[in-house]
Chain A
């Protein structure tokens, strides 16, 4: 079975996110004064061949812990769907 895995990597909440701040300033300069709390992260998509959805998720979690996210500075969210 092949699963499509969506990984959302975000800077740890509470950490300074200068990219988010810069985007927020830019939005405000464009007239979107109502925008706030902007944070910029990264989305990664991949396909994982695995016997079950749980296996696919477990493997994807290892990939995140080892490479896709840095546990010191980032949190991640996984979403697994059948292809």
Chain B
């Protein structure tokens, strides 16, 4: 069975959603408190959305030093899959598991609405179930989602194909705001060099059932579950 550890920081608010979304594809998902140092045999680690430590100093800056993060660093270094969603993405950048930083939205407003993004890479543990170039609709909910990196880093991300998700351009006919935060190169999600660590601003765990209004988010969890196939997962997926 796929073990999925969802790290709970003080101020996390999408932790239970992530546990539920992972369980819905047949994973054994559970919360790990930020002071724990044992990921309990996790195959996948999810750093959920929220406002860890009240976003004090900078979003993700304090959470990076939580005791659990040493274990997350080791897990990532060993090639283990890590998904950072929203605040989790901010934490991954602060922890230098991903390059760049997430700054205050260009429009200053907190944006909470659906956006259309293009899946540009399907060779990550969380996007394998999509087709390259597939457009998916997911909610964003953040005040600091403007991805920024030095010119060299941006060039490197593009050259190495490490942009996983991009907000669709305004010419692509989305009914939603094309780039809700002023992100460099419309970047909504990136991966590390090894491809096992992915950070994204949109919230797949809040959009994985038709009853939630949007269901495209499920693909991220199906991809994750498919990474380690086992009968229970297959049964849920065929439902």
* A66–chain B nearest beta-carbon distance, Å: 9
**Which stretch (A13-21, A28-36, A53-61) binds chain B?**
A13-21
- Give every chain A residue within 8 A of B99 (Cβ-Cβ): 72
- Taking a contact as CB atoms under 8 Å apart, the answer to whether A18 and B101 are in contact is no
Interface residues on B, range: 20 to 34
- Taking a contact as CB atoms under 8 Å apart, the answer to whether B108 and A22 are in contact is yes
Q: How many residues of A are counted as interface, with CB atoms below 8 angstroms from the partner's CB atoms?
A: 11
CB-nearest residue of chain B to A73 = B101
Residues 38-78 of chain A, each 1 if its beta carbon lies under 8 Å from chain B, else 0: 00000000000000000000000000000110101100000
* A10–chain B nearest beta-carbon distance, Å: 13
Q: Is the interface of A mostly helix, strand, loop or mixed?
A: mixed
Cα distance, A70 to B150, chains bound together (Å): 12
* Partner of B150 from A11, A22, A72 at Cβ < 8 Å: A72
CB-nearest residue of chain A to B100 = A72
- Taking a contact as CB atoms under 8 Å apart, the answer to whether B94 and A70 are in contact is yes
Chain A CB count within 10 A is highest, among B57, B100, B105, for: B57
Q: For the complex, is B135 an interface residue (Cβ under 8 Å from A)? A: no
* B229–chain A nearest beta-carbon distance, Å: 38
Residues in B97-128 with C-beta less than 8 Å from chain A: 99-101, 103-108
- Taking a contact as CB atoms under 8 Å apart, the answer to whether A16 and B182 are in contact is yes
Binding site for B on A (CB under 8 A): 11, 15-16, 18-19, 22, 67-68, 70, 72-73
Nearest 7 pairs of A and B residues by beta carbon: A72-B101, A18-B108, A73-B101, A70-B101, A22-B108, A18-B104, A18-B106
